[in-house]
Each structure stands twice: as structure tokens, then as C-alpha cells.
Amino acid sequence: MNKTTFLERLQHERDKFENLLNRLGFARKLTMMGVAGGLSIKDLLADVLSREQFIADRLSEILHGEVYAPSASYTALENFQQLHGYPDYESPLLEKEKPNHLVVYKFKNIGMDEIVEQELAAFTNILDSFQNLTHNQCLDHDLFHRIAEHTYKPYRRASLEINRWLKQIASESK
């Protein structure tokens, strides 16, 4: 894969996710609980934000020649989260597919507008950093896969939960 093709795929996935959120924003359903268990769309977006911030920070480290190593112990995993404010999503000790309850709790009292603002900034940082990396750096650090894992794969998971919830509430209102 090349950078241009990857950026097109990333932007396409991003557009689909934003369109879904925009549709729901007009319906004022973003903070209703029960979308995925006891989570709201706001909670799912906070999870997306933390994953994007994770990869944005890793990209910045690569640009600055810093080395990242996934947490190999539970103590290191806890220390990582305390230092960065989000989990080490690439640690083999962390369940990657589900929203992290500590992230959801961290953003509980943060307004939706602020979460959206931070999420947009993290996504912009990903794009900016990615464009400053060489193709060889992308290959050396497996960035096509890693960025997908922390951007559009979480978009897809959140969208799946949201669409499932929308179908459920539509059938309940009949």
C-alpha cells in the first residue's frame, strides 16, 4: 500500500463515521445511554478519541526518533496510562476490541463539544504526522496497519454498535 491510497481509505472511513455522528447529533441522541451496554455515543467517541490520541503520540515519537515499546507487565501498563492519560492499546495485556472503562470514566464529566474538539485535533495530528513520515518509515513501523487499528477500525466498531442500537430503538417504537 502507498500513502496516498491509505489516506484516501482513511478519509473515506472518517467521512462515513462523521456522517453517522452528524445524523445523530441532529436527533440529540449522542448522550443517551444504552448504545453498547451502559455506554452512550459520547462514551464511544471518547474511546475513539483515546485511541486516536494514542496513535498520534506514537507517530510524533517516530518523527522525533523516539522508541515506543508496548507494556509487557501490568505495572508498566498502569504506569503508561497514568503518564499518558489513555491505555497502551498495543500492549498484549490489554483487551483491544472493547471500550476501556477508565477512558469512559475519565470523560464522564467532559462535555460532548469538548470531546469532539479534542477528537478532531487528534485526527488532524494523525494526518499531519503521517504526511511528514516517509514511505519507508511507514513500512518500518507497520503504520498502515497500526493507524488503521486506532482510527477506522474503532470507527467501524462504534458505527456497528450505533446502528444496532438505532435499529433496536426503531423497532421498540413501533
Side chain identity at residue 158, one-letter code = A
* Residue with the larger pLDDT of the pair 22 and 152: 152
Give me 25's grid cell. 447529533
CB of 81 closer than 8 Å to CB of 102: yes
Q: Report the C-alpha gap between 143 and 138 in whole angstroms.
A: 5
Q: Does residue 127 belong to any structural domain of this protein?
A: yes
Q: Does residue 137 belong to any structural domain of this protein?
A: yes
CB of 88 closer than 8 Å to CB of 94: yes
Residues spanned by the domain of 114: 3-64+100-172
The pLDDT tens digits for 117-146 are 999 999 999 999 999 999 999 999 999 999
* Residue with the larger pLDDT of the pair 170 and 49: 49
Q: Does residue 78 belong to any structural domain of this protein?
A: no
**CATH number of the domain to which 168 belongs:** 1.20.120
The pLDDT tens digits for 66-79 are 999 999 999 999 99
Residue 98 has a CB neighbour count (10 Å cut-off) of 12
Q: Which of 119, 138, 110, 126 is nearest to 3 (CA)?
A: 138
Q: Does residue 89 belong to any structural domain of this protein?
A: no
The overall average pLDDT reported for the chain is 91
- At residue 174 the predicted structure's pLDDT band, cuts being 50, 70 and 90, is low
Q: Does residue 15 belong to any structural domain of this protein?
A: yes
How many domains does one find in the chain?
1
- What DSSP line would sit under 89-143, residue for residue? TT-TTS--SS--HHHHHHTTTS-HHHHHHHHHHHHHHHHHHHHHS-HHHHHHTTH
Share of residues in the chain with pLDDT > 90 (%):
69
Q: Does residue 90 belong to any structural domain of this protein?
A: no
Q: What is the DSSP letter of 173?
A: T
Q: Does residue 161 belong to any structural domain of this protein?
A: yes
Give me 57's grid cell. 503520540
pLDDT at 173 over 80: no
pTM check: above 0.85: yes
pLDDT at 97 over 90: no
Q: Rounded mean pLDDT of 1-5?
A: 92
- In whole angstroms, what separates CA 62 from the centre of its chain? 19
Poorest-confidence range of 24-33, 59-68, 107-116? 24-33
Q: Does residue 139 belong to any structural domain of this protein?
A: yes
